[in-house]
A and B are shown apart, each in its own frame.
Chain A
Amino acid sequence: MLPIDGFIAFLALFALFVGLGFGAVHWRKGDLGTLHEWALAGRRLGTALVWFLVGADLYTAYTFIAVPSSMYAVGSIYFFAVPYVALTFAIAMLLLPRLWTISHKRGYITAADFVKDEFSSPALAMLVAMVGIIAELPYMALQIVGMQAVLSAMLIGLSDVATVSEVSLILAFIVLAAFTYTSGLRGATLTAVLKDILIFLSIIAVMIVVAVSGGFQSAASHLNLVHTTLPTKFYNAYWSLFIMSALALCLYPHAINGALSAEDAEKLRKSTSLLPAYGIGLAFLALFGILIYGNSAALAIVKLFPPSSQGVLVVPSLILSVLPSWFAGIAFLGIFIGGLVPAAIMAISQANLLTRNIIKEFKRDITPQQETTISKWASVVFKFLALGFVFVIPATFAIQLQLFGGILILQTLPPVFLALLTKRLNKYATMAGLIVGVASGLYLMEVANQFGAWQTTLYNTPLGLLFIGVTALGMNLIVTVGGSLIIPSKTTNPAHQKS
């Protein structure tokens, strides 16, 4: 078990985290009874805060748990996360400021708001909102898997780790739900800054200790080829994973939510353009997945666990064996809130989609105050839904589900990003394309996994292994673009004539 000074550091910083979360309600005070104040922090975040909020998407459990875990277990192919991070911000800096400008002018809060006006189609908007909500769920579940991994590393040796960690998770989520309800995106933003500072400190500390002790050389001597370079049969899998993930990240409702909270389009553009540099920490974390092979103490901790959960413990074990216990406590808290903060932002963005693009379509007469109240409660419900998900589904499965979430959210590319670039898309064709994309993605997942438990998102093509997202998006685009050429869109939408 982690020595007591580690626990003290962890709990003291957790108290600071809770204080920031609730205290944020007084920060840049606004009327939190309105949705754009609660969910977008009044659209007043400058360059630095947007950096932290959009960058918050970089340092989630995906980064400290899923990527190192796969690097450890599978190998170099999961380094695709690095080109993915570099290229996603090229896409972000080009498209998100455009979406911001339109949203600011017309008061949009979600991407589906834009879709609704752009296509004059509440039905298509509802479809986009539903895909967004569903795609976020496994992503949130993954955050909780990461938090569980931290707790099990801290509690090694305790007799009933499972009960203690489940109770801790539930308590943490009650606190999180309470402060997100109270302070909305303000709370998430301030705690995101704390989270990133702690995580960066920890990554740098681990890297220094490992480098000084010659960890790279000793890891290199233990590695086989799967871990040092990319086997040629994975070339197509590699590029298809990184380019599709790059497109997917910018489409996630929480990423768009973060972008729309910027105070102006140019600050948003400059801030996102610099974010690839922030990804260097992610590259280091990915490398932890192979560095662990050179650290026998960390490897011994990992081996205490059953093979299926060894991967997720790579980073916690390395921290435990490399850093002094008080510092390990700080690092663990960083990873722990590194799951909580993104989960809060994701739940806020899901809640906005639910109220604005689904509930409001059925109940048109709700007041802005009611709209906000429903969103606040929905954000609470979504958090606990994700938590329930984790208690039911095994951890390794949650990682695969997150990748499937990526395939799903990619299918909203034509109505959101393509529609930013052209006005020629037909709404029926786009709707059909989205449905074809989702269905083919689901079908190929089943085929690739021989209709059994989901283990992979790659499948065999004449080009070799390929990420399913490419094919699903390809079929979507064929239907959307092909259909739009046959039945051109009528630009009778008043929103178009105004602009």
Chain B
Amino acid sequence: MKSKGVVAAILIVIPFVVYFAIPTYNSVQPTLGGLSFFYWYQTLWLAISAALFFAAAVLIGRKP
């Protein structure tokens, strides 16, 4: 199904959009345990990216 490919593409593109939007996360506040937002937000997105990519991989793998 073609729609599966579209969904997979969207899932893959999301982390690119997030990381390219540098001004949206380039701040000290809110801090997490003393760490500025800039650092913990990008680290958190590693886990989210893995989840999104894996979902996309499963979608791509299930060929009709």
Contact = CB atoms under 8 A, between A and B. Distances in A.
Nearest to A218: B34
Interface stretch (A83-91, A411-419, A445-453, A457-465): A83-91
Interface string B37-52: 0110011011101110
A493 interface: no
Contacts of B34: 216-220
A235 interface: yes
B36 A86 contact: no
A90 B46 CA distance: 12
B35 A269 contact: no
Interface string A63-89: 000000000000010010011011101
A428 interface: no
Interface of A: 76, 79, 82-83, 85-87, 89-90, 93-94, 211, 216-220, 228-230, 232, 235, 238-239, 242, 266, 269-270, 273-280, 283-284, 287
B43 A283 contact: yes
A228 B36 contact: yes
A88 to B, nearest CB: 10
Contacts, number: 103
Contact of B42 (A79, A266, A275): A79
Contacts of A283: 39, 42-43, 46
B18 to A, nearest CB: 9
Contact of A86 (B22, B38, B39, B46): B46
A275 B12 CA distance: 14
A220 B31 contact: yes
A82 B46 contact: yes
Contacts of B31: 220
A330 B51 CA distance: 31
Nearest to A270: B57
A239 B22 contact: yes
Central interface residue in B16, B19, B47, B53, by most chain A CB within 10 Å: B53
B61 A270 contact: yes
27 contacts: A79-B38, A79-B39, A83-B45, A87-B15, A87-B49, A89-B50, A89-B53, A90-B49, A93-B53, A94-B12, A218-B34, A220-B31, A228-B28, A229-B26, A229-B27, A229-B28, A232-B26, A235-B22, A266-B61, A269-B57, A269-B60, A270-B54, A270-B58, A273-B53, A276-B49, A283-B39, A283-B43
A275 B26 contact: no
B22 A87 contact: no
B14 to A, nearest CB: 10
A82 B38 CA distance: 11
B19 A242 contact: yes
Nearest to A284: B43
B42 A82 contact: yes
Contacts of B53: 89-90, 93, 273-274, 276
A219 B57 CA distance: 39
B16 to A, nearest CB: 6
Nearest to A231: B26
A432 to B, nearest CB: 30
Contacts of B22: 230, 235, 238-239
A277 B46 contact: yes
B63 to A, nearest CB: 10
Contact of A269 (B36, B49, B61): B61
Given A90-B16, A220-B36, 15 more contacts: A76-B39, A82-B43, A83-B19, A83-B45, A85-B46, A87-B49, A90-B53, A93-B57, A216-B34, A218-B34, A219-B34, A230-B38, A269-B57, A270-B58, A276-B49
A228 B29 CA distance: 10
